[in-house]
Amino acid sequence: MIEVPAQPYSFALDPERTALVVIDMQRDFVEHGGFGAALGNDVTLLQAIIPAVADLIALFRVNAWPILHTRECHLPDLSDCPPAKRLRGRGGLRIGDDGPMGRLLVRGEPGASIIPECAPIDGEMVIDKPGKGMFCNTDCEAMLRARGITHLVFAGVTTEVCVQTSMREANDRGFECLLVTDCTESYFPEYKAAVVSMVIAQGGIVGWATDLGTLKDACK
């Protein structure tokens, strides 16, 4: 076990059973012209964490620990995108509409791809998820169980939506979860702060939180 200093107390990381989960580091969320920008968000806030996320991925690769990447995207006919999700907001572009990087959040379109700095390599798991959580209508759990994974380290965007949803779903399924705070971000900094506080509340009711530097030092 690797004892990682964290909040609310040390996280016991089992290197034989740990995987990194990188949530939705996609062009549609972090680049101008994508879905996030179409909603009126400042994507530069998300771009700021790219070097840290890439560094975290490198840490897992050098240790030959498993990595799972997720992409939020839908089938071209949008049969897996219910109106309750697609028809949110007033005006502007919606999921499936044409944007500068192709149809927004549609599988196979340029905008749905993971940014080059964080792109998966051969042998790493990739999940296309139609929902906010990584387990919703995917074979994610089966993939992790098959590899004997019990501990998950979380990074990616956005903190209060897909990252938090996935982390809570993982907790409910019995995974031990650690959020790397400087490797996740929101379009609304106050939402990120709120999620971190909720995750570690009540003795770590959802999981633990630490920063990348602390994790790297613990893994030396």
Annotation marks residue 73 as catalytic:
no
Amino acid at 30: V
Dihedral angle sign, alpha carbons of residues 201, 177, 161, 81: negative
Annotation marks residue 14 as catalytic:
no
The backbone torsions φ and ψ at residue 153, rounded to the nearest 5 degrees and listed phi first, read -110, 125
Of 28, 73, 81, 129, the active-site residue reads 129
Annotation marks residue 132 as catalytic:
no
Of 118, 162, 177, 183, the active-site residue reads 162
Contacts of 100 (CB under 8 A, 6+ apart): 32, 33, 34, 111
Alpha carbon of 114 to those of 39, 121, 192, 203: distances in Å? 19, 11, 21, 34
The answer to whether the peptide bond before residue 158 is cis (omega within 30 degrees of 0) is yes
Contacts of 76 (CB under 8 A, 6+ apart): 103, 106, 107, 108
Amino acid at 150: T
What is the distance between the alpha carbons of residues 64 and 50, in angstroms, rounded to a whole number? 21
Point out the residues that are catalytic.
24, 129, 162
